[in-house]
Structure 1
Amino acid sequence: MFRYNSRVGVMLIYFDKRVGKYALQIGQTIYDHHDSAQSAADNVYMHVTGCPAWDRLDGQVLDAPTDLSEWIRV
């Protein structure tokens, strides 16, 4: 599991065994499932998560992780 403490809340990327893919969870909501954890992290960096509060901050968050390696592994 990976964690990023963002402006809009805690983001988690983890393997969701129920669907066999990596979930992107922001707060209490799962916004999408991905084939890889890196793909989910890329969507966070690009602000294309499906979470309006995060996506509309595109270009305004200068310290967002650019790669999964910059997330906190928990």
Structure 2
Amino acid sequence: MNVLVFRTNINSAQRVHKAACRLCKLKGICRWSVDLEDCDCVLRIEAEKVEESDVVRTIQRAGLFCEPLEY
């Protein structure tokens, strides 16, 4: 199981819904969450065989900002 962490602009329930509609189509995601209280609106994904680039592309197709968060 891999944990992927991203900085996003998913800062409202409406944007969470837009992201959810896209993320549900990615095979291999076991769990995901967005921290709406964090200044980076951190998207955390637990997944198997999902690449960071796939997540970034998927979120960007929803019209949202997403980049890997280095920690």
State the TM-score, normalizing by the size of structure 2: 0.34
Tell which has more relative contact order, 1 or 2 (C-alpha 8 A, sep 6+).
Answer: 2
Structure with greater proportional strand content: 1
Structure with greater proportional helix content: 2
